[in-house]
Structure 1
């Protein structure tokens, strides 16, 4: 690590490494507003009425557009009010009558997903995350003693790790799903935000050619269009969309028709694909300079070079507790999310380290570099 001079007090603004939300310039607000106006002019009665009931799986036009986007049958798609609702409904669907309540997830993983699964009675257990995906040796060992209800993965530019699961590991995961009889939930909110390299195949696509494999894919428009539209979706085998629709109807009756129609028109007009290109152009230089800043300030502590998404993560060697490190970082003007919160209850960062999720998507090059430089100083002064 480099050795920045310690500061008696921070006079510059706080560097926020605490949230992974899209930068405002990544949301095509004016275009969405224009589309919304055209929808309201053309069909206000429909979009201000309840959506149909009776296992309604989402706006027909939107499901057609999503089907074309992913090259799948639209009847395999169920549209939700954001991807977290998809996770909640899937947890209810998969765990309600499951003989096994164990759920396996990457360690670290998305903390809100763990909270949702536990709320539905799951015992969530962590499998170590390596630079190319789950540690499959540990997974196989666990499978020999207990088969989970499902395995939850974020295989592309993982939150919080930034890791992309390799093609080889994806194929083996699908094979293990068929062999042991568990479901895989693949969550892909960042998949389209690739800045370099070639995208591995979706696990859901791989499962189509492996008898007995079961994969449910969860998508979202929050990172590629707008989080405010609250549009998520599930791609599943026949029967799954209807089952999720029945659960959803008993929970909130119907979704928001206006938002789904606007999202459909965003696809139909080409706005979604144009915006994906624009977001890639916006974020790629931020990614590249963030990687270099981490290497300069923190050495080779990064879990991987993401090549996409929002996050670089590190296991930073420290000589103190996480609580004291976070307090010292805050005193230096760096806001962090508690890294251990991303680990299931039976997991933890490697001994002698703190886990840091460092979002780069909404920070300037200077802000990001200043933040990691301050973190390096905090780590070196820790006792």
Structure 2
């Protein structure tokens, strides 16, 4: 049996499929004409009911919200919006960071450069050096249980990044798909909330329902300053005309019925034991190589000391039925893991304790043989 450390998708038991199906059936029986027609055209920023629910969930004005067909589409539209007329096309991102985000930014002409990620967020000394050299179009961060590292940016660092945004005049793009999946401790303040009290700071916050409700609904969203949602809507209409009314209506009713909050609690209870077991096994088997103790999300990650190449390590692991994602793919082109190490993302959300233990134990054996 292959141990899959290769994808960060929700386990099936984390998706309330029957409850979503029941909500969908009710909608189809009462308002099929509306949900099977085009959505309104003309700077349509998303289903009104859903934006109201998202506004209540995040305690923001619903008019600041733009709803997308999944978070990757939000990233694509934001990249187009932020880079089109920017004086600089430099994009600073955490190293490591979400690999698909890098691909999207580069597709829109961004020059993505990595700033090293520490156990509590960006290395701010290096960030300040980079800002003094060239002010980027934006800085992309995943501040809560980061994909791929599991790192959460500390409150202190969040405040300083927001202050730097005001000082240097760059936008912060904050991506929060895992924020609600906290198993321990207190959540630091959103950068978008911190920016409200800092003159000149600018933060765009992206969210998604994929990890807290269902990836199949394809609902992402952006919380932005006034004017930005309409600008994004104009870009969206020239790309796909309109979103899917049925899916956004289902998402709205899932909030209204309490299903979203109920499922968040259920997913936390489901994943916390898997998180705790993963942290214990990594410490016991691999030693002190984890970037952090995640305390939430899907991932624990390691810089594994090896004397072989990444390609050879991954091939040896595959031969032992351990599927890994190439860790170097999470680094922007000008960045790399520390010398003498291979970066590995180890998703724990879909694996029971025995399966995760078997995978890590096998990985340790492969690393010893390769060294």
Say yes or no: does 1:378 pair with 2:366. Answer: yes
The offset of 1:329, in angstroms, is: 0.5
Say yes or no: does 1:330 pair with 2:324. Answer: no
Q: Which residue of 1 aligns with 2:145?
A: 157
Partner SS for 1:112: helix
Residue of structure 2 aligned with 1:293, choices 281, 284, 289: 281
The offset of 1:99, in angstroms, is: 1.1
The offset of 1:315, in angstroms, is: 0.1
Q: Which residue of 1 aligns with 2:256?
A: 268
- Deviation string 1:64-107 (CA, Å, 9 cap, x unpaired) is 00000000000000000000000000000000111100000000
Say yes or no: does 1:147 pair with 2:147. Answer: no
Say yes or no: does 1:191 pair with 2:179. Answer: yes
Query: In 1, Cα distance between the equivalents of 2:270 and 2:8?
Result: 15
Provide the TM-score with structure 2 as the length reference: 1.00
Say yes or no: does 1:278 pair with 2:266. Answer: yes
Say yes or no: does 1:348 pair with 2:305. Answer: no
Partner SS for 1:189: coil
Q: Which residue of 1 aligns with 2:86?
A: 98
The offset of 1:170, in angstroms, is: 0.1
Structure 1: runs of 5 or more not aligned: 1-12
Query: In 1, Cα distance between the equivalents of 2:166 and 2:145?
Result: 25
Say yes or no: does 1:309 pair with 2:297. Answer: yes
Residue of structure 2 aligned with 1:365, choices 316, 341, 353: 353
The alignment yields a C-alpha RMSD, in angstroms, of 0.4
Q: Which residue of 2 aligns with 1:30?
A: 18
Query: In 1, Cα distance between the equivalents of 2:85 and 2:117?
Result: 29
Query: In 2, Cα distance between the equivalents of 1:179 and 1:39?
Result: 49
Q: Which residue of 2 aligns with 1:247?
A: 235
Residue of structure 2 aligned with 1:56, choices 44, 50, 60: 44
Partner SS for 1:237: coil
1:192-271 alignment runs, 5 A limit: 192-271=180-259
- Deviation string 1:18-48 (CA, Å, 9 cap, x unpaired) is 0000000000000000000000011000000
- Deviation string 1:255-294 (CA, Å, 9 cap, x unpaired) is 0000000000000000000000000000000000000010
Residue of structure 2 aligned with 1:182, choices 164, 170, 181: 170
Query: In 2, Cα distance between the equivalents of 1:99 and 1:136?
Result: 23
Partner SS for 2:356: helix
Query: In 2, Cα distance between the equivalents of 1:254 and 1:382?
Result: 52
Q: Which residue of 1 aligns with 2:111?
A: 123
Query: In 2, Cα distance between the equivalents of 1:136 and 1:162?
Result: 18
Aligned length: 371
The offset of 1:357, in angstroms, is: 0.1
The offset of 1:332, in angstroms, is: 1.0
- Deviation string 1:155-197 (CA, Å, 9 cap, x unpaired) is 0000000000000000000000000000000000000000000
Query: In 2, Cα distance between the equivalents of 1:64 and 1:243?
Result: 19
Query: In 2, Cα distance between the equivalents of 1:340 and 1:274?
Result: 37
The offset of 1:333, in angstroms, is: 1.0
Partner SS for 1:185: strand
Structure 2: runs of 5 or more not aligned: none
Query: In 1, Cα distance between the equivalents of 2:366 and 2:125?
Result: 35
Query: In 1, Cα distance between the equivalents of 2:366 and 2:284?
Result: 15
Residue of structure 1 aligned with 2:30, choices 33, 37, 42: 42
Query: In 1, Cα distance between the equivalents of 2:333 and 2:124?
Result: 20
